[in-house]
Chains A and B, each alone.
Chain A
Amino acid sequence: MNVREWALITFTILAQMSVGSFIVLGVVHYFVGKKSGEKQADELSDRALLAIGPVLALGMAASLLHLGNPLNAYKAVTNLGTSWLSREIFFGVLFAVAGAVFAVMQWKKIATFQIRNLVAILAAVIGVALVYSMAMVYMMPTRPGWNLVTTPLAFFTTTLLLGVLAMGAAFVANYWYVQSKNPGCASEQCVLLRDSLRWFAVASIVLLGFQFVLLPLWVALMAGPATASAAMLVGEFGGVFALRLAFVFLGAGVLGIFLFRAASSPGQEKVMGTVAYLAFALVLVGEVLGRFLFYATATHFGLQ
């Protein structure tokens, strides 16, 4: 592992987290808006929306570190015809633009709710295209450990899992912020927060289950030329692999249950917040380790 590969880990994790957060936010905003009105929904989620931009920007900045000649980075969108890498960058930039447009519209309340919703949906679709392109970048016959259906599935799982837990953490932070500005004003927000976090907890447990199907599937699919990758994953990198499973299990599973419980009983906001932060942190570390393993166990088919 070198700087170049850590750059890729950082980029893919942050970009996927951004897409996931954006989608989760959209879903929450839709349901909360429906239940409690647009204002409450905005209060709950607008600040979190603004946090997505910097995360994505950080990820994209990190991606430059993996380039030998970053001055040419702007040319990297010129082969949309055949290069998934071009498409990845294209959708990355497009997602950033669409997301930013939506954020500004949402912040400044430009245009109607419906129009903003349309923009949000459009941005989300671009985000999905981004994650799909990201996965397709790795779908090459010369990289047998990657060229498996588990790659896009895992990328989307990561996207949603990190999106859910990142937004959980963001909502909590937002809540404390609102509380500190205007104590007592947030009782409605407090309910909404608990409701959201309950759903987040459920979602993370479901996604964890999905991931615990995906990971063994990945190992199982690594037959033929990918056997070497599987051997590394359970051999040389077996310790890291176990750690990766443990972190996600603790974060999304065990803490997910705690989060659900805390979010289900009013007055537990402090505990709930701490658990939400911790769950996000653990899952983030787990996903970073997972992405590290994705690169570290890669083998090349043919001559390298």
Chain B
Amino acid sequence: MAKQLAFHFDASACNGCKACQIACKDKNDLPLGINWRRVAQYGGGGWLPHPTRPDLVVANNIYAYSMSVACMHCENPACVQACPTNALTKRADGVVLINQDQCVGCRYCEWACPYGAPQFNEAKGVMTKCTFCEDLLAQGQNPACVDSCPARALAYGELSELRAKYGTENAIEPLPAANLTAPALVITPHRHAQASSKGTGHLLNGEEL
């Protein structure tokens, strides 16, 4: 079986604090507008009138949960297929990397990716993306996001091992269905998790995502 590094995300633990996002931003010196790891919040439910008391309202199945999202280093990466210059490559360990010297800045990978992973650096005119902190991996360290999580909701490892340990879930709202790219992601679902494309909720982020 081919090697495939993957992230594990525990949605039942993540409270959406975004320490991972800022840790990533800090480690990679990302400018404003570029966030390789982001935290999407999803939720729904509503309010009903009280059956007998007009002055009361009743909360009806209100729920919310967070999803920390970075490059999924997909087994079938749409970005790599789309890239006209071979700037995007999938390494033997499954990590998808971009060689900026090779990038033409056409942003086609941005269209192709269902996870918003490749992000354009306006100043440099090239795409950027999560590197799985390959430099830290090479030094035997963990990716910055994994070590940052105060909720201990992020982990990484060999996909098959993560699946053996945490199951095979990889498509929870607001993520798209997994069949597009086969993301190297294992999710421990939140108790209110909604399956991709079948959710009853909506994004809950106040900021642009």
> Which residues of A pack against B, CB within 8 Å?
4, 66-70, 72-73, 75-79, 82-86, 89, 137, 140-143, 225, 300-304
Contacts and interface: CB of A to CB of B under 8 A. Distances in A.
Interface-central residue, A70, A86, A225, A303, by most chain B CB under 10 Å: A303
Contacts of A141: 114, 180
B124 A68 contact: yes
Contacts of A83: 81-84, 108
Contact of A79 (B83, B111, B116, B197): B83
Interface stretch (B24-32, B97-105, B161-169): B97-105
Nearest to A298: B111
Given A69-B105, A72-B104, A303-B69, 16 more contacts: A67-B106, A68-B120, A68-B121, A70-B105, A72-B105, A78-B86, A79-B85, A84-B82, A141-B180, A142-B180, A300-B111, A300-B114, A302-B175, A303-B174, A303-B175, A303-B209
B184 interface: no
B207 to A, nearest CB: 13
Interface of B: 38, 40, 69, 78, 80-87, 101-108, 111-116, 120-122, 124-127, 174-176, 180, 197, 209
A174 B77 CA distance: 51
Contacts of A140: 78, 82, 111-112
Nearest to A75: B85
* Residue of B69, B108, B175 with most chain A CB atoms under a 10 A cut-off: B108
A141 B81 CA distance: 13
Secondary structure call for the B interface: loop
A85 B82 contact: yes
Contacts of A142: 78, 111-114, 176, 180
A304 B82 CA distance: 16
A4 B111 CA distance: 14
B108 A303 contact: no
B114 A76 contact: no
B108 A137 contact: yes
A85 B84 contact: yes
Contacts of A4: 107
Contacts of B175: 302-303
10 contacts: A67-B104, A68-B105, A69-B105, A72-B104, A83-B82, A83-B108, A140-B82, A141-B180, A302-B175, A303-B115
A302 B180 contact: yes
B116 A68 contact: no
Contacts of B107: 4, 68
A143 to B, nearest CB: 6
A92 B27 CA distance: 41
A76 to B, nearest CB: 4
B105 A67 contact: yes
Contacts of A70: 104-105
